[in-house]
Amino acid sequence: MTRINLFLGLVSVCLCFLASSAFSQDAPEQQEASDVQRFHWGVSGGLNRYQEPGLMQLQGPEMGVHVTRTWSSIQWEGDVLLGQQKYTSRDSGGMTGITNLETRWRGLISLAEDLPDHPDFLTGLAIHTLWNDLRGTTTFNQTTYAGYERSAVQLWLPMRWSHTGVWDLDAGLLIYGRHTSKLSQVNSHFTDLVNTQHAGQYVQATFHWAWNDGDTLKPFIRYTHLGKSNSVVMNGSTWTEPASQRWQIGALWEFHPR
């Protein structure tokens, strides 16, 4: 309960900080800020490779829709990524056509915008969600295995170093993660498991290639690591979500308002 209260308190403080930064300016400044409010939309394509080392792998193409809204020193961002992946495991065989859905939502505030000769630094809060559908069966060594849905919700501390129009370097630390495994879909004697995670990091490098029409092509590479979760007891056995790593590489085409 103490961790949950700390988690909720941190969320409240950070959201209040972002809100006060957005609305504490006087009337002329608010009018000026309203003039620069705008949305940037983008689409992306790439490859997603997820691994639980020594256990399983999911790999396949993914496409994304992205949106950014800038409001004075505040930046709100959203990413929705949908993929079709191939599942392989040395212990349970393989399966194709696995749907993977990932979303990321960030609120960032600039802390170095008054230093034009230096890269900008932004930080804030981010919420990530993950879902993949492993329902179905695989056969390995004449044994049939059943799959199930998995989902996760995570709170992150995002950080970004940005050289406008040239590159972005993103990094993040996991604050709290909640992972759900619907094992009841495998066996009616099982219950769905909820594990928590408190260790994780990501880093992403993005490069900007501006076009004459104002659009921007942004190649990127991203690495995410999640540590092993806590342990949960079910039917006399101990269940743990293993450590994992994910590589994503692709390119985003961002449309600037005309």
- What secondary structure, in 3-state letters, does the chain show? CHHHHHHHHHHHHHHHHHHHHHHCCCHHHHHHHHHCCEEEEEEEEEEEEEEECCCEEEEEEEEEEEEEEEECCEEEEEEEEEEEEEEEECCCEEEEEEEEEEEEEEEEEECCCCCCCCCEEEEEEEEEEEEEECCCEEEECCEEEECCEEEEEEEEEEEEEEECCCEEEEEEEEEEEEEEECHHHCCCCCCCEEEEECCEEEEEEEECEECCCCCEEEEEEEEEEECCCCEEEECCEEEECCCEEEEEEEEEEEECCC
CA angle, residues 177, 178, 183, in degrees to nearest 5? 145
The residue ranges of every structural domain in the chain are 39-255
pLDDT of 22 strictly over 50: no
Supply the pTM of this predicted model: 0.82
Query: Which sign does the torsion angle of CA 46, 197, 230, 99 carry?
Result: negative
> What pLDDT is recorded for position 127?
98
Closest CA to 85 of 107, 104, 62: 62
pLDDT of 148 strictly over 80: yes
Dihedral (C-alpha) 202, 207, 212, 214: value to the nearest 10 degrees?
20
User: pLDDT class for 91, splitting at 50, 70, 90?
Assistant: confident
The residue that leads in pLDDT, 147 or 141, is: 147
Architecture of domain 39-255: Beta Barrel (2.40)
The residue that leads in pLDDT, 121 or 256, is: 121
CA–CA dist 67, 83 (Å, integer): 18
Give the type of residue at 110. S
Closest CA to 110 of 151, 144, 76: 76
Written as six digits, the tokens of 205 are: 């490098």
| Cβ(68)–Cβ(37) below 8 Å | no
The mean pLDDT of the chain is 85
**Mean predicted confidence (pLDDT) in 158-165:** 91
The residue that leads in pLDDT, 3 or 102, is: 102
pLDDT of 29 strictly over 50: no
pLDDT tens by residue, 228-244: 999 999 888 899 999 99
CA–CA dist 39, 75 (Å, integer): 10
> What pLDDT is recorded for position 3?
43
Q: Among 27-41, 46-60, 166-180, 224-238, which stretch is predicted with the lowest mean pLDDT?
A: 27-41
The residue that leads in pLDDT, 18 or 143, is: 143
> What pLDDT is recorded for position 114?
58
**Mean predicted confidence (pLDDT) in 47-52:** 97
pLDDT tens by residue, 123-139: 999 999 999 998 887 87
- Please give the share of the chain, as a percent, with pLDDT higher than 70: 83
Written as six digits, the tokens of 135 are: 């329902």
> What pLDDT is recorded for position 235?
87
- Please give the share of the chain, as a percent, with pLDDT higher than 90: 62
| Cβ(15)–Cβ(31) below 8 Å | no
Q: Can you tell me which residue has the tokens 């066996």? A: 187
pLDDT tens by residue, 171-182: 999 999 999 999
pLDDT of 37 strictly over 80: no
CA–CA dist 72, 33 (Å, integer): 5
| Cβ(219)–Cβ(206) below 8 Å | yes
